[in-house]
Homo-oligomer: A and B are copies of this chain.
Amino acid sequence: MQSHPVPARPGRPRSAAADAAILAATREALVELGWSKLTLGDVATRAGVAKTTLYRRWAGKHELVVDAVAELFDALRLPDRGSLAADIEGVVLQFAAILARPEAKSGLMAVVAESTRDEALRDRIRTSIVDRQKRLVLEGRARAQGRGELPQSDPAESERTADLIFDMVAGAVVHRTLVSGHPADEEWVRGFTQVLLLGLAGAGAAAAGD
């Protein structure tokens, strides 16, 4: 009996080291050159790999950068700081710190731009990046409900509210960082979190009063 029915494909297996080297080289090139000047030939050279190896694994620049940037978001964790507000501030600050890095800045908006015309790319972004962030919203709410800070939510309403929260949080941080061009520092995050939480509380009360 074999629990893992390993496909055991014939031929030489793909180098696992190459993948890591390529993604690291991609981030390095993003930092130095930015999205528009990044070339796959250069990435291949930095990674010590042939261009063909790169094309064997990724369909193009966009897909590669999605994967390279996605790894940056692996570090996102929901901290337990004792209160909902503090938890949110913590995770938003982490998110802002990642977005402040040039490799994220450069690449993220570019792939989002492209994804407006590429269904497959949009899915890849959603799977690799967006959903990973969104999960934190759900975790945070569950923890706050455990603490009694939030009431149990109507499952039907729950999904909609989570989406709204996520768009408001991620949108505000991204916009401030990339469009307005100011840092999402601790002070800003505190102000933003206050508005968000008070607004949600008020809206919840209004809904309950209906």
Asked if A1 is an interface residue, CB under 8 A from chain B, the answer is no
Asked if A86 is an interface residue, CB under 8 A from chain B, the answer is no
User: How far is it, in angstroms, between the C-alpha of A163 and the C-alpha of B192 when the chains are bound?
Assistant: 11
Asked if A196 is an interface residue, CB under 8 A from chain B, the answer is yes
Contact A116–B122 (Cβ < 8 Å) = no
**A191-B174 in contact given A117-B34, A122-B181, A197-B199 (Cβ < 8 Å):** no
Q: Select A106's contact among B117, B194, B201, beta carbons within 8 Å.
A: B117
Residue ranges of A at the interface with B (Cβ–Cβ < 8 Å):
34-36, 102, 105-110, 112-117, 122, 125-126, 130, 160, 163-164, 166-168, 170-176, 178-182, 188, 191-192, 194-203, 206
When A and B form their complex, which 9 residue pairs have the shortest distance between CB atoms, in order from nearest? A199-B199, A171-B175, A198-B202, A171-B171, A109-B113, A195-B199, A110-B113, A34-B117, A105-B116
